[in-house]
Each structure stands twice: as C-alpha cells, then as structure tokens.
Structure 1
Amino acid sequence: MSSWLQMVTLPRLSLILFVWSQVPGLQSQEFQFGPCRAEGVNLQQLREAFWTIQETVQAQDNNTSVRLLRQEVLQNVSDAESCYLIHALLKFYLNTVFKKYHKRAEFKTLKSFSTLANNFIVIMSKLQPTQENEMFSVSESAHKRFLLFHRAFKRLDIEAALTKALGEVDILLTWMEKFYKI
C-alpha cells in the first residue's frame, strides 16, 4: 500500500511544485540596490498594505504643497547610491515614522500598518551587500540625498511630518520597484 501511495503522491507533489515555480509572484523575489540585495520580498504585499491605509492617512495630510520624497531625493539615483539611500530611508521610517505614528494608527488600519513596518524590518534585515568595498563619494552623495528628505521632514510639525511621511510610502514603493527583480 505504501508503494501505491508513493506512486500517486510523488507525481502530484511534483506537479504542484512545478506549477508553483511557474506562477509569477510565488517565485523568489528580490530587490537589487546596487551592491546590496534583499531576497524573498513581496512587493505586492507591501502595496496592498499601503492601499489599505492610504485613504485614511492621506486624508489627514493638510500639507499638500509639501513633498518629502522629492525628485532631488529619488530621481537619477545611481545603482551604487541606491544601497546607502534605501538603507537610510528604511531605517528612518522604522525608527521615526512607524515608531511614533503607531499610536495614532486607527484600529481598522492597524494590521496593514504592522504589515508595512514588519516588511520594512524584513527588508532591512535581508539587505546584504554583495561586495564589501563601497566608494566614499557614492555614500556621501546618497547621504546628501537623504539629508534633503530629513530636512524637509524636520521643517514640519512632528504630527504633520509623520502623516506626510507615511502618506508618501507609495512614492517610496514606486522608487523601490525600479530595483525589484522577479
């Protein structure tokens, strides 16, 4: 009986594994930020979590003329700069935005808020350099980009800045998507 069970189960299991490996979105996914990469990231899950809170957060944003993640911060970022910049941005979001905003998160959006924060933690923990030598001028340039973002954040009242930063997660995700590979 066990040989019959193996004959029936093994082909079915093989078929399931084959189909699973062919379905987009179920394969191993990664971000490649210049010399750094993070494997096993689900961008769609991040987007869905943001979409759940987007309306609530953006409705609280009264500073529509201000943008933290401006073109000067995210546009024309070289692959080499991207590693430093994503690390700095994710660290800021984790240590400042998610940490301080979580008390204001409404119950209906709490799960999605946690999903975003937890996925940012996962990306940070998986963000590993593929090569050790990083040029100082590249990190210096990326640091200047981050400081543009940070200064714009500091110019706002803390509550307005937190709301603005959380409301701009979609901009960050769109930028990150440039470095996303399936």
Structure 2
Amino acid sequence: HKKDVITDVSLLKAKVLNQIHPSEQCCFLLKLGRFYMNNIFPKLEISSIKEQKGLNHLANSVLGLKIELKHCHSSMRCPCGDQSHKIMEDFRETFYQMETEAAIIKAIGDLNILIRWLEKNYQG
C-alpha cells in the first residue's frame, strides 16, 4: 500500500505462512478473516469513491472466504491447533504495538502477501 511508510515491520510474512501445517490453514484463515472484518475494515478511512469501491470488493471477498471457512470449521474439518493460535497471537501483538492508523494501513498492504500465498497454495 502506498501509504505504508513502515517498511521494517510486516504483519504477515510469507515464510511464516508457508510453514503453517495444511491441517491448520483453514483455522488460521478463519481467524485472520475475522480479525480483518472486526478490527481493520471498519476502521479504515477512505478518501475517494474509487478506494471505497475497491475496499468494498476486498471486504466482500474476505467475508465470503470467512463464511466458507466457517462452514468448514463448524463441520470439524478445520481444526485449530497451537500453530494457528500462535501465528494469530503474533499478528495481533504486532498490530496492537503499532499506532492505529499505521497498523491498519500495514494490514491492508500486507494483504498482498496473503493473496500471493493463497494463489500459490489454493489455485486449482
């Protein structure tokens, strides 16, 4: 994200995402989607109609993914283990150590890392 001026911190790291055990990926994505829907998208300030449309599309995509994962999770095909809890704990801790606006901008910018990881692991 062009407004992201904090270059020495990353909330999502490709190396960490690549180490998530396949059995915990669903749980991690569900927790991450919930965090974005509750803590990031509602607080994001948008300055243009174009940005608003882009954000709405992005938020709807994350919400759709979260809903699909919730169905998977409720049928117990999406176990949550220590690894997914630890990664989300680290994400939250880093997020809350930053100034609120900077953390939100960083989280939006880091979605590129998540999208690349999803494309690599789930493109069928």
- Pick from 135, 158, 162 the counterpart of residue 104 of structure 2: 162
Aligned residue number for residue 115 of structure 2? 173
- Pick from 83, 87, 91 the counterpart of residue 34 of structure 2: 91
Aligned residue number for residue 89 of structure 2? 147
> Relative to structure 1, is the Cα distance of residues 118 and 154 closer, same or farther in structure 2, using a 3 angstrom cutoff?
same
3-state SS of paired residue (1:129) = helix
Count of aligned positions:
122
Any conservation in 1 of the 2:20–2:83 contact (CA below 8 Å)? no
3-state SS of paired residue (2:81) = helix
Q: What RMSD over aligned residues (CA atoms) do the two structures have, in Å?
A: 2.0
Whose Rg is larger?
Answer: 1
Q: Deviations over 1:22-44 (max 9, x none)?
A: xxxxxxxxxxxxxxxxxxxxxxx
Aligned residue number for residue 118 of structure 1? 60
Any conservation in 2 of the 1:69–1:149 contact (CA below 8 Å)? yes
Any conservation in 2 of the 1:73–1:146 contact (CA below 8 Å)? no
Larger strand share, 1 or 2: 1
- Pick from 132, 136, 143 the counterpart of residue 76 of structure 2: 132
With structure 2 as the length reference, what TM-score do the two structures score?
0.86
Any conservation in 1 of the 2:12–2:91 contact (CA below 8 Å)? yes
Shift of residue 165 of structure 1? 0.4
Structure 2 gaps, min length 5? none
Cα distance in 2, alignment partners of residues 86 and 105 from structure 1 = 28
Cα distance in 2, alignment partners of residues 69 and 82 from structure 1 = 14
Cα distance in 2, alignment partners of residues 60 and 123 from structure 1 = 26
> Relative to structure 1, is the Cα distance of residues 110 and 133 closer, same or farther in structure 2, using a 3 angstrom cutoff?
closer
With structure 1 as the length reference, what TM-score do the two structures score?
0.60
With 124-133 and 146-155 compared, the bigger mean Cα shift is at 124-133
After superposition, residues 47-58 of structure 1 pair within 5 angstroms as 58=1
Identity of aligned residues (%): 30
Cα distance in 1, alignment partners of residues 41 and 85 from structure 2 = 21
